[in-house]
Amino acid sequence: MSAVITGGVNVVATFVSIFTVDKFGRRILFLEGGVQMFICQIVVGSMIAMKFGVSGEGSFTKNEANLLVFFICTYVAAFAWSWGPLGWLVPSEICPLE
């Protein structure tokens, strides 16, 4: 179920990038996406470290698991509207085929 949710978020956020890249510009999408991904990685890593530690034993409550999925989806959305598609767009603009 988690893969379906994150896949759906990825598709929707990619369309956000397609429709907003010319309005907001590449730089702002790269910077915003990078900061958002960094924060989400810190939160997800901290949650896992606090719950499982070095022993690897522990479990999440339902609310904690939902919060973790939310931050993973936020990370996926940030990637999908910034570094994912724009990583292909910018090189093609720098070195066009003609």
Report the alpha-carbon distance of residue 40 to residue 80 in Å, rounded: 14
Structure tokens at 96: 């066009």
Confidence class for position 87, pLDDT limits 50, 70, 90 = confident
- List the end-to-end C-alpha distance of the chain, in Å, as a whole number: 45
Indicate the residue type of 4: V
- Are 82 and 13 in contact by the 8 Å Cβ rule? The answer is no
Query: What pLDDT was estimated at residue 76?
Result: 94
pTM of the model: 0.82
Confidence class for position 67, pLDDT limits 50, 70, 90 = very high
Report the alpha-carbon distance of residue 98 to residue 96 in Å, rounded: 6
Query: What pLDDT was estimated at residue 41?
Result: 96
Query: What pLDDT was estimated at residue 71?
Result: 95
Query: What pLDDT was estimated at residue 45?
Result: 93
Q: In the chain, what are the domain boundaries?
A: 27-52+60-97
Structure tokens at 98: 């003609």
Note the pLDDT tens digit of each residue in 8-65.
Answer: 999 999 888 888 888 888 888 889 999 999 999 999 999 999 888 778 788 888 999 9
